[in-house]
Structures are given as C-alpha cells and as structure tokens.
Amino acid sequence: MKEDLKTNKVPKFNLKRLNVSHFILSLLLIVIVNIIGYFCFFRVDLTAEKRYSLSKSTKNILKELDDVVYFKVYLKGDYPASFKRLAKETRELLDEYRAYSDNIQYEFIDPSEGRDDSEMRAIYNELARKGLQPTQLQDRKVDGVKTQVIFPGALVAYKQREFPLQLLSSNINIPPDEIMNISIQNLEYNITSVINKLSRKNKPSIGFVEGHGELDLLEVADITRELQEFYLVERVELDGKVNALRHFEYDSINGNVVTWNKFDLLIIAKPSKPFSEKNKFIIDQHVMRGGSILWLVDPVFASMDSLQGAAETIGIINDLNLDDMFFRYGVRMNTNLLQDMNALPIPIITGKMGNLPNQQFIPWFYFPIITPILDHPIVKNVNAIKSEFISSIDTVGSMPLKKEILLTSSMYTKIVQAPIIINLNILKTKPDDREFAYRYLPVSVLVEGEFKSLFEGRVSAEFDTSSMIQYVSHGKPAKMIFVADGDIIKNQVDQQGPLPLGYDRYSKLTFGNKEFLLNAINYLLGDEDLMQVRAREIKLRLLDKTKLSKNKTYWQVFNIVMPLLVIFILALAMLYYRKYKYSR
C-alpha cells in the first residue's frame, strides 16, 4: 500500500517539475524570439494579393527618411461605412509604414468635433485653401436626409513643408463603390508618392520649351505651380543656341569639353510655329544624352475662338517641321481630327425664351472625353481626360524601341481628314451611328529605348563649326510620351486668373488631365518603381447588398447563434475528451 502511494506521488512531483521547466523554457524562447525580432525584422503577409506587403521602392524611401513625416488625416467622425473602411485601410497602411520607419507619425482628426457653425466654416475654408477637396455626403436616415461635408484626405508635413494628400479618388464614369475600391488600391502609391516628393534631396529639372508659339506661362500656370513643389521648373528658348539645353565644362586634365543635359525633361506644349533644323538638332542631342520629352502637339490647328461670331472655321494642317523627327522616334501624328460620341458638352444658344436666350449643353464631338482603359501605371484608374480637337497617332518603324499606347478614343469614333470645315450646325442634327465606326484609336503613345539620331550621317557644316557640339549618333536609354492634343495641358482662365487644370467652367466638372500629366512626368523622370506600386490591385470582398437586404433576419440570427453553437460543440468535445482520458 505504501509503495503504491509512493509510486503515485513520484509522478505528481515530476509533473510539477516538468511544468515549471516548460514554463521557464517557454519564457526563454519568447525572450530569445523578441531579441532576434528586434535585430532581424520580418513580417508575414498571408493575404492573397499581399495587401499588407509594402513594395521595395516604398521601403527604400522609408529607410532614407532623416526626419519625421507627420500625417494629419481628416477621416474621423460619424461617416458612412464606406468612408470608415477607407479610414481603417489608411490607418492600417500607416501602421505598416511605421513598422519600417520610426519617422512616420500620424493622427486622425474630426474637423467638426466640438465646433459651432462659424468655427466649422473657418476650418473648412482653411482646409480647402491648403488644397484638400471637400466631399458632400447625403445620408438618408429615419428622421430625414443628413448632409455632411467631409475632407477625405490628409495634410502631410516634413521639414517645414506641408502638402495635401487626397485619399478619395474621383472619376465621373465610375460608381461610388468602385471609386472607393480604387481609392484603397491607390493608397500606397499616393502616400509613398507624397513622402518621396517631400523628402527628395536632388530635384530633377524640367524645361518648358519656348520660341515656337507654345502655350504661355498663364496657360500652363496650374501644372507649373504643381510641378514647382517637387521639381526645378524653367522656361527655355532654344533660339539655335547649342548651350540652350546643355552644360559645358572644360576638363583641364584631359583637355576635353565635358557636356551634360541641363534638363532631365523637356515639355513641348502646343507649338504653332515650325521648328528650325538647328533647334531640332539641339532637341535631338538632348534625347541622345538620355533626356526625356513630353510632346503635346496639335497635328491640325483648330480653335473655338474662330467660331465666336462666325458660322464656321477651318481646321488646317499644323506644319511644325517635326514629321521626320517623330518618324525617327517611332510615331506618326496623323493630320486628322477625331469626332467622338463620348464628348464634352458645350453651351449652345438654341433659341429664345421670351427675351432671354435659351442655352443648352450639347456634346461637341470635336471635344472627346478620353477614358483611360489600359493597365499601364501612368493611366490606370485615372479619371476621364478632356481634350479639344485631338488627332490619332500611329506607331511606325522597325527600330528596337518599346512602344505602348496610353490613351485611345472611345469605341464610337469618326475620322475627319484635314483640311476640315468645322461648323456648329452639326449639333443641330442627329449623328449617324454608322459614321462613328472606328474603335479605340490611339491618341497618346509612350516610346522608350535607345533612339538613333535624326541627323545621323548628315550633320551640317553649320553645326560642325562649334567645337562644343560633341555630336552623338546613338543615344543612351531615353523616354518620350506623345499626345496628339496640346490643349490637354492647358488650363482655362477667367477674370480671377488661371483655373485648376482639368476643370471645365461650363460643366463644372474636374477631369483627370492633371493626374495623367503628373503620372506621365513622374514616369519620364525615372520613378518607374513607384509607378509599379500604382498598378497593384487589391480586391475588396464586398457583401452582396441585394442578398443582404433580402435575407437580413436570417444572417442576423446566423451571426448570433452560430458562434454560440460552435463554442457549445467545442465544450462538449473537450468534456468528452477529458472524460475519456481520465477514465482509463
């Protein structure tokens, strides 16, 4: 009997000692794992589309931060579920950023909390002045419709600089639920892009070319102001000067003249006068040395100003002496104008109502609304773009250049060859659908690679007289974007001054012109890695609202009863297991 008691006590003592040993080992293991984790940081993302994994370019930008980037996010308050989801995704992504950098800090702010009407108006005006766009919501409740003004964005501060960050995308052709999905997809790109622009030490340089009837400073004031936040922007007149686009320096050791581009990017915005051969040579050598160009050119000249007080005007070929250059670089701008069924309405007086003119808005087929449909990072999820008298583009040549179409017309397009009689009377007749038979004609093309000089084998004596020419016949890798409409970069102007680029004062709509151009410029200036972030697609597994409303009671009961049932079944299983184990 005593032996039996002893034998029973020994296992209990051993079990207690074993439990203490297990506890100490577990504690040590936790401490060791934490020490390793402190020095060897890693995270595991188990989501299908890796939505919680930051891109390599984002991580690199975060590692280089040398000061705090502070986010004031104005997404706190009693908002609809979709905006709460946007706020939740924003918070989780900022937490992910903080995991890689201690210099990321944020707070969520309700701008209307604890303020009366006058204080709220003052706050709202201040946020709008700083660049945040308000959104008006109408929430239908039992006691009526509640109207709310919210600012779905953030103010980002870094080293005495502050920049607005819009978190809610805008697109006139997409339903609200899909816009919210796009906004969440673009969160990493938008946040990383702002951090990159604010923290970038060496600013790339951009030159707006002058001297060929290009758009003046007032007509590109909005995009210029936007670019000056992050780049060095100048206006440059070529005037046949070899040093207009290049720096020259004498190397006293080797006795040579060293040359490099003054500008990383040239913007040629709606020229109306021919380019001289010498100016073309200067631009050509800019490309041969790896410089990028954004071409915004009207192959056909037409203007609405000519229709003011006139029955008709003529669209004529805009001879810029650039056709051979474009062909060498892989594109041909066609001397036509596109009419498109998807067009911007313009105000037209259709008669009189009493003594007052009766004005209606009718789609003007010569002003196509270009809806980006391709998956290239430059145009993916970009809002519709307004254009004026746009032409088509073809890709040509067999050189090993990479050519990608960025923008196209709609599936209902008509081609009209220049010269063209443009008459407002076409608005008075119903269009014949059979005439709009062309589909998705290219209007913007990206070309990149190693270009060959237009002047290969024919550098004239005029160019050879200067010892500083240093002619290059085969270039370094370079990039160009061609757009067959110069008005895409042109902002409207009223009595108060320049209006925001993409804003149409007649329809009161804001189009995606600025977004497209900023993406294009970012790409041309070498932010390809950042642009790839924009191409990420995050799927939102949204509930089916129709099924939800139809079976609302069933799902409410299911969500309450099922967890309790699972717990009950697990408890029974555990009870049966313990009974089976200790009854042996």
Please report, to the nearest 10 degrees, the dihedral formed by the alpha carbons of residues 427, 429, 434, 435 taken in order.
-50
Topology at the third CATH level for domain 56-197: Glutaredoxin (3.40.30)
- With a CB cutoff of 8 Å and minimum separation 6, the contacts of 154 are 71, 72, 73, 74, 75, 90, 106, 132, 164, 165, 167
Extract the tokens encoding 399: 């050189």
**Degrees to nearest 5, angle at CA 347 with 346 and 351:** 140
Q: What is the pLDDT of residue 429?
A: 81
The three-state secondary structure class of 84 is helix
Q: According to the model, what pLDDT value does residue 465 have?
A: 47
DSSP H or E run through 269: strand 265-269
pLDDT at 5: 45
pLDDT of residue 494: 86
Peptide bond into 419 cis (omega under 30): yes
CA 455 to chain centre: 36
What tokens were used for 353? 């109502």
Nearest-10 crossing angle of helices 221-228, 513-524: 50
Distance CA 270, CA 292 (A): 17
State residue 447 phi and psi, 5-degree precision: -125, 130
Domain chopping of the chain, boundaries: 56-197, 205-524, 546-582
Q: Is 439 exposed, middle or buried (0-12, 13-18, 19+ CB in 10 A)?
A: exposed
Query: With contact defined as beta carbons under 8 Å apart, do 197 and 163 qualify?
Result: yes
> Regarding beta strands 135-141 and 205-210, do their DSSP bridges make them parallel or antiparallel, or are they unpaired?
unpaired
In order along its 584 residues, the chain shows pLDDT tens digits of 444 444 444 455 676 777 778 788 888 888 888 787 666 655 666 666 566 678 888 888 898 899 999 999 999 888 888 888 899 999 989 998 998 899 999 999 998 887 888 888 899 999 988 888 888 876 665 556 667 788 999 999 998 889 899 998 876 666 777 788 878 888 888 899 899 888 888 889 999 999 999 999 999 999 999 899 889 999 999 988 888 898 766 565 665 666 788 999 999 999 999 999 999 999 999 999 999 999 999 999 998 877 766 668 899 999 999 999 999 999 999 999 999 999 999 887 766 666 676 777 889 999 999 999 988 889 988 889 999 999 999 999 866 899 999 999 999 999 999 999 998 888 878 888 899 999 999 999 999 999 999 988 777 666 654 556 678 888 899 999 999 999 999 999 988 889 989 999 888 888 999 989 999 998 999 876 666 676 665 555 555 656 666 777 887 888 888 889 999 898 888 888 877 776 76
Give SS3 for 410. coil
Amino acid identity, position 372? P
Predicted pLDDT of residue 326: 96
Residue 370, SS3 per DSSP: strand
Give the SS3 label for residue 305.
helix
pLDDT value of position 174: 65
Q: What is the pLDDT of residue 402?
A: 94
The full DSSP string for 427-494 is GGS---GGG--B---EEEEEEEEEEEPTTTT---HHHHT-TT----SEEEEEEEEEES-GGGGPPPEE
pTM recorded for the entire structure: 0.76
Measure the CA–CA gap between 466 and 463, rounded to whole angstroms: 6
CB-based contact 558:565 (threshold 8 Å) = no
